[in-house]
Amino acid sequence: MRSSATPSAGPNLARETALAGARELFPALDDTAVYLDSASTTQKPRPVIEAVDRYHSRQTANAGRGTYPWATTLTRELERVRARMAGFLGAQPDEVVFTGGATAGLNAVALSWALTNLRDGDEILYSPRDHGSNVYPWHHLRQLLRAFGREIRLVPYRVTALGEADIDHLAAAITPRTRLITVAHLHHVFGALTTLEELRGRIDPGIALCFDCSQSGGHLPVDVTELDADFAVFSAHKMFGTPGTGVLYCRRRRHPELTPFLPGGNSAVALDLPPSHGNAQPHGDAMLRAGAMPRLLEGGTQNIPGILALGAALDVLDGFGLDAIAAHNRALTQRLIAGLRTIPDLEFLPGPAHAPCETGYGTVSFTLPGISATDLGFVLSEYGFLVRTGAHCVPADTVGRDEDSVRVSAHVYTTVDDIDRFTERVATIATEVR
């Protein structure tokens, strides 16, 4: 029976009907479990599953290699997906690089741009409380540069109680040696949005801005031009696509500064060979920068079924509408917070629960005294509620006690009833623990 303390579903909260039929597209969902871990990976809709099956079962070939119809058709289809992704982001097709995921994309920024452009004494501003994929590459970069006799500084900035980057603290940390600011666009634990809009016009335009859009991609409209981003990464498996596929956005003005981070077949990198038969060849950096974007950063055979699945995922997202998805997740976020707020002693991590206005992007994290997050997650799973627990890939040396938490994350297939039944179960467990 629904608790009287939980607000009733009004017309703005009846998202099950606003996105009618959404759950039917996701065959893995059934009535035995409530999936609340979409920040980790989303469920896969039928068109995505069919795209992967179609590649493996009909006319399997390598793209960009052969001139026979199977190969050329695939080549055109992958470029169609690239153009679709560019439109999805507000970018140009040559600014869209297919990668092995968001982690690969961030490492590409470190190895193809920062490694060759940062000089001794240069600085990177980052948040130690971001996902490890937006922390570890910069530490690894610092170690690599030390081997070449260059020392860069990694300057941490704080996060507010709302879960956003502390803009005042970040702005105060900027110096003439700052070369890169990297942020989580939508934080994977706190569910809070950071756009750096407040910094526009206040900082040197030469400072590169990098956004980790792993959580925002497919959850709300993202326009890299509005973000003034130089780099942005996206994770396909968090936006209805398959694992092992991602996108790196590289702003055109940065293209001349890039060198390949994964040189190989199809990456259009010329060889630095000695002159032969009287034909002089260019040497050094001129050769390394000879390839055109985006192939410069796409060495080797790509994850063809993954890219095709990404195209199908974009079609599904367009069918729902990103504005409708964002409204759905905002409504569920507010309902979840309202339900959990009635539970004595439950503590919210930074995020929308602390915001002065009704906001939210489908992710809320919390702790419950008397029971560890791991144990609470296990008990919840016994009742059919699948949530993420622990430190959520925040680097171990920066994790505080408050970050060992339960994280609830929703998407279009999550319903108001799912949220209500979840909060009732947490309330029951809290009573038993007390």
Rounded percentage of the chain residues whose pLDDT exceeds 70: 86
pLDDT band (50, 70, 90) for residue 22: confident
Q: Where are the alpha helices (DSSP H) in 289-415?
A: 304-320, 322-341, 373-382
Mean pLDDT value of segment 333-350: 96
pLDDT band (50, 70, 90) for residue 307: very high
CB 121 within 8 A of CB 152: yes
Name the pTM for this structure: 0.88
Task: Give pLDDT tens digits for 105-125.
Answer: 999 999 999 999 999 999 999
250 given a catalytic annotation: no
Instruction: Say what the pLDDT of residue 263 is.
Output: 83
Instruction: Say what the pLDDT of residue 196 is.
Output: 96
pLDDT band (50, 70, 90) for residue 398: low
pLDDT at 287 over 80: no
pLDDT at 20 over 70: no
Instruction: Say what the pLDDT of residue 105 is.
Output: 96
pLDDT band (50, 70, 90) for residue 259: very high
51-272+286-317: CATH architecture:
3-Layer(aba) Sandwich (3.40)
pLDDT at 289 over 50: no
Using the CB atoms, write b or e for 306-332: b if 16+ within 10 Å: bbbbbbbbbebbeebebeebbbbbbbb
Cα separation, 274 vs 255, in Å, equals 26
pLDDT band (50, 70, 90) for residue 201: confident
Mean pLDDT value of segment 150-154: 96
pLDDT band (50, 70, 90) for residue 283: very low
pLDDT band (50, 70, 90) for residue 392: low
Instruction: Say what the pLDDT of residue 202 is.
Output: 86
Mean pLDDT value of segment 125-148: 94
CA–centroid distance for 169 within its chain: 24
pLDDT band (50, 70, 90) for residue 214: very high
pLDDT band (50, 70, 90) for residue 396: low
Q: Does domain 19-45+321-433 have CATH number 3.90.1150.10?
A: yes
pLDDT band (50, 70, 90) for residue 8: very low
For the chain, the average pLDDT equals: 88
Instruction: Say what the pLDDT of residue 141 is.
Output: 96
pLDDT band (50, 70, 90) for residue 2: very low
CB 184 within 8 A of CB 238: no
Q: Which of 39, 9, 33 is nearest to 392 (CA)?
A: 39
CB 304 within 8 A of CB 55: yes
Domain ranges of the chain: 19-45+321-433, 51-272+286-317
Cα separation, 42 vs 324, in Å, equals 17
Which is catalytic among the residues 210, 213, 250, 393?
393
Q: Which of 351, 338, 337, 362 is nearest to 415 (CA)?
A: 362
